[in-house]
Amino acid sequence: MPISKSKYIQVGKIGRPKGTKGLLRLHSYLNDDRDINKFEIFYLEDESTIKIKLVSFDKKSPIITVNNIDNRSSIEQFVNKTIFLQKEKLTPAKEKEYYFHDLEDLNVVNDKDELVGKVVSVVNFGAGDLLEICFLKSNKNEFFRFTEQNFPSVNISEKKIVIKS
């Protein structure tokens, strides 16, 4: 049974082993890779738990240990596993800051409070955050830079975001 997206957030994927001492590469989706050590328990897709510790960095990625395993043959079972955290364990976002998962599925309304679309996804390709919005009239998806100028009001509790006309 896949993990519940309402309770968990994907924070990374375990990569290939590095060396023979049980080290693995990590493809982290956290803002700061060092934040891995702020959490004790991580979850796999089957909701089983693992302990991850960030031990170093190399040119390609952060290097981790899993469950204190110290040999390559035992650690290979974790390669390509997606890792999750419970959403409730995340630090609350500051004012006017949002987690991507909080913005996804928000209703998009115009300045007259009329529903015009829905946020499909939030992405960042390196030049800033973009909201992918599916518009009701055209049934097409379009990307918009997520700025206060384009989206003057965000209300997570009401599940709506105002787009500037």
Q: Give the mean model confidence (pLDDT) for residues 106-112.
A: 95
The CATH class, in words, for 8-89 is mainly beta
Provide the Cα torsion 105, 35, 148, 158; round to 10°. Answer: 40
Extents of the domains making up the chain: 8-89, 100-162
Quote the pLDDT of residue 88.
86
Quote the pLDDT of residue 1.
56
CATH of domain 100-162: 2.30.30.240
Render pLDDT for 42-87 as a digit per residue (tens, 0 to 9): 999 998 999 999 999 988 789 999 999 999 999 999 999 999 999 8
Q: Which residues contact 54 (CB under 8 A, 6 or more apart)?
A: 26, 33, 34, 36, 37, 62, 63, 64
